[in-house]
Structure 1
Amino acid sequence: MRRTLILALGTALSTAALALALPAPAAPAAKTDADPTVTPPGWKVPKTAFGQPDISGYWSNATMTPLTRNAKLTDKLVLSATEAKGLEKAFADALAAADAPTDEKKGPGKVTDKDSPEAKLVAIRPDFAAAGGDVGGYNTFWIDPGAHMMEVNGEYRSSILTTANGLPPARKPGAAPAFGRYRDNYDSYESRSLGERCIMGFGRNSTPPMLANGYYNNDYYIIQTPDAVAIQVELIHDTRIVRLKGGHRPDDVRPYMGDSIGHWEGNTLVVETTNFPQSDNFMGSWKHLKVTEWFTRVSPTRINYRFQVEDPDTWDKPWGGEYDFAPLKGIVYEYACHEGNYALPSILAGARRKEQEADAAKAKAGGE
């Protein structure tokens, strides 16, 4: 039996665990090849047969770099090569150790055990804590979060967000909660999350802003035509259509991925998305949410992706982040999600059973 990640949300990690997670590495060897994130001298952006800058093909945004900065590791957006390589090694070592066979006498490791591989892994990526808890955890054999820190224009990044502290800004008083409470709502399958229902990918892979989910299937297929750009998302098989002609729809119809329109500014595809549904909100924002994205081919092997989020009801000013897409070695295959077909009936049946038991307990108490 492989070791599983039993990760409890909100676990506090000690300074000792962090130190164990981040051994000081030797200085990395100098690169012998040109940095793929930096535009080669004399290189020109390729064009499609109809004259658009060519961003088509198979791409991936898998990365070790999380959306938000881990303040326990660094307060800087840009890491040195030594720091980045040290994190990569510690991450790889912790993943490998967490995937070792479980000691039947000791049982699986926990993040509360400061010397466990799980603690070292979560010390580097606290968001991995969300992989465990109620669903029992992911075995690390099944995750493919990427093996490298994100590199943008030759700089190693500690977070995808480019705000001063690498975190979302403060929310306005009265703004909707950043995260919904769907886990506590068992009234209907319609009240469960879109990811759980196999309708949309979890971790916001598809709906703008498009973000790496940190676990697996962070791959895309971009197709261009004179009138539209289609972005096929591996998880959960969604395709977003960006219309290049015409404006936003005038009604209040809200497609799952919002309403995306785009235009070219030089070598950059600029995409603006509005009309988000509440079920696919971003950190609680949806009704007046607007996301602007910039896709720029910056080298033979990179597309720079920037995004800006704004909602006057939620934040005082726009904010956002940046990363680079890298080529996918292969193609995007069908992601056949069936978990909802099996899990949802059990989830709802379990909720009805608990309600029946609660009613029976009340009736018994009232009769005594």
Structure 2
Amino acid sequence: MGGLARVFSGALLAASLLAAAPAGAEDAPAQSRTAAFDKLPYWPGYWVPVDQLDIPISGIRTNFGQEAAKIPPTDSLGVWAPGIPWNEEGRRRVAENAKTMNARKGQGWSFPTMMTAATPFQVLITPEEVLIINAYNETRHIYTDGRDHPPAEDLWPTTTGNSIGHWEGDTLVIDTIMVTNPNDYFQGAPPLSEEAHYVERIWLDGDNLRATMTITDPVTLQKPWVSNIVWARDTGFDRMIQVDWTNDRTGSDGVNNTIEPPQD
């Protein structure tokens, strides 16, 4: 047999061996991941807190009365939320923020306030992680692949913190730590410390997403702060459009001069 014929014969043999391999053996990881997807819930749409739904650009609700009565109760995560169990340090931080709140520039919502802000967010669910993304490019990565939080020496505070999660049936349970003081990022956010610990439980209830968020913070809170949140799909959105954020109302940008800058 000539050299070329031997090469051709060898190629045919290799091809026949591959064909004889167990059907789907190489597709096992893909099939396993497909099966994992099949077990996960699906939360399509662009979600906003029910009390922010259909509010006009003024930010002032106009559908009081009968329509407003249909809105399920939902809590705020802003510094103004009633019933926050501040301790002495927490009250000191709130009072300090009140002195400069109207003149400060907000860089975005940050966590946890982004979860009850007027900006819609999208939830993308995969077997390995869940992404929560809003239009201001604020993205939460919630790892659901079984990992734990990194060692303390490998962590540093960020605006969305470090989140891990797991599924209990169709309920997503999220554990978040190492969040930068939210008030440093947005003047309307609660001035919690970097030691705050956030636990969320999120699930689909009919046409609404619901959640409980429990925040413990030994620095600023006397006891756990528990909030109940309800979101609805904002039907005005059919895609996510990313926008730049600016909230400098002192006029230093030459445009948004709705208030006078501080004199000192």
Matched with 1:292 is 199
1:305 and 2:208 matched: no
Q: Which runs of 5+ in 1 are unaligned?
A: 1-46, 66-91, 96-139, 186-190, 356-368
1:60 to 41, 44, 48: 48
Matched with 2:75 is 160
2:226 to 320, 332, 339: 320
Q: Distance in 2 between matches of 1:292 and 1:271?
A: 6
1:260 and 2:163 matched: yes
Q: Please tell me the residue identity of whatever aligns with 1:333.
A: I
Asked whether the 8 Å contact 2:85–2:224 carries over to 1, the reply is no
Matched with 1:5 is none
The alignment of Structure 1 onto Structure 2 pairs a total of residues equal to 208
Structure 1 residue 296 displacement after superposition? 0.5
Structure 1 residue 334 displacement after superposition? 2.3
Structure 1, residues 94-125: CA drift from partner, whole Å, max 9, x if none? x9xxxxxxxxxxxxxxxxxxxxxxxxxxxxxx
Q: Please tell me the residue identity of whatever aligns with 2:193.
A: W
Asked whether the 8 Å contact 1:208–1:273 carries over to 2, the reply is no
Matched with 2:9 is none
Structure 1 residue 58 displacement after superposition? 2.1
Matched with 1:272 is 175
How high is the TM-score relative to the length of structure 1?
Answer: 0.47
Q: Distance in 2 between matches of 1:51 and 1:275?
A: 30
Asked whether the 8 Å contact 2:209–2:231 carries over to 1, the reply is yes
Q: Distance in 2 between matches of 1:228 and 1:342?
A: 40
Q: Please tell me the residue identity of whatever aligns with 1:274.
A: I
2:88 to 153, 156, 173: 173
**SS of residue paired to 1:178:** helix
**SS of residue paired to 2:215:** strand
Q: Distance in 1 between matches of 2:60 and 2:133?
A: 19
Question: Measured at CA, do residues 146 and 231 of structure 1 come closer, stay the same or move farther in structure 2, by a change above 3 Å?
Answer: farther
Q: Please tell me the residue identity of whatever aligns with 2:148.
A: G
Percent identity, aligned pairs only? 18
Q: Please tell me the residue identity of whatever aligns with 1:168.
A: G
- Comparing 176-185 with 271-280, greater Cα deviation is found at 176-185
Asked whether the 8 Å contact 2:48–2:233 carries over to 1, the reply is yes
Structure 1 residue 276 displacement after superposition? 1.1
Structure 1 residue 228 displacement after superposition? 0.9
Q: Distance in 1 between matches of 2:158 and 2:132?
A: 15
Matched with 1:231 is 132
Question: Measured at CA, do residues 303 and 247 of structure 1 come closer, stay the same or move farther in structure 2, by a change above 3 Å?
Answer: same
Q: Distance in 1 between matches of 2:217 and 2:69?
A: 27
Alignment of 1:81-100 (within 5 A): none
Question: Measured at CA, do residues 226 and 308 of structure 1 come closer, stay the same or move farther in structure 2, by a change above 3 Å?
Answer: same
Quick check: which has more Rg, 1 or 2?
A: 2
Question: Measured at CA, do residues 226 and 180 of structure 1 come closer, stay the same or move farther in structure 2, by a change above 3 Å?
Answer: farther
**SS of residue paired to 1:263:** strand
Q: Please tell me the residue identity of whatever aligns with 2:211.
A: Y
1:334 and 2:234 matched: no
Matched with 2:123 is 222
1:207 and 2:122 matched: no
1:49 and 2:37 matched: yes
Matched with 1:243 is 143
Q: Which runs of 5+ in 2 are unaligned?
A: 1-34
Q: Distance in 2 between matches of 1:209 and 1:184?
A: 19
How high is the TM-score relative to the length of structure 2?
Answer: 0.63
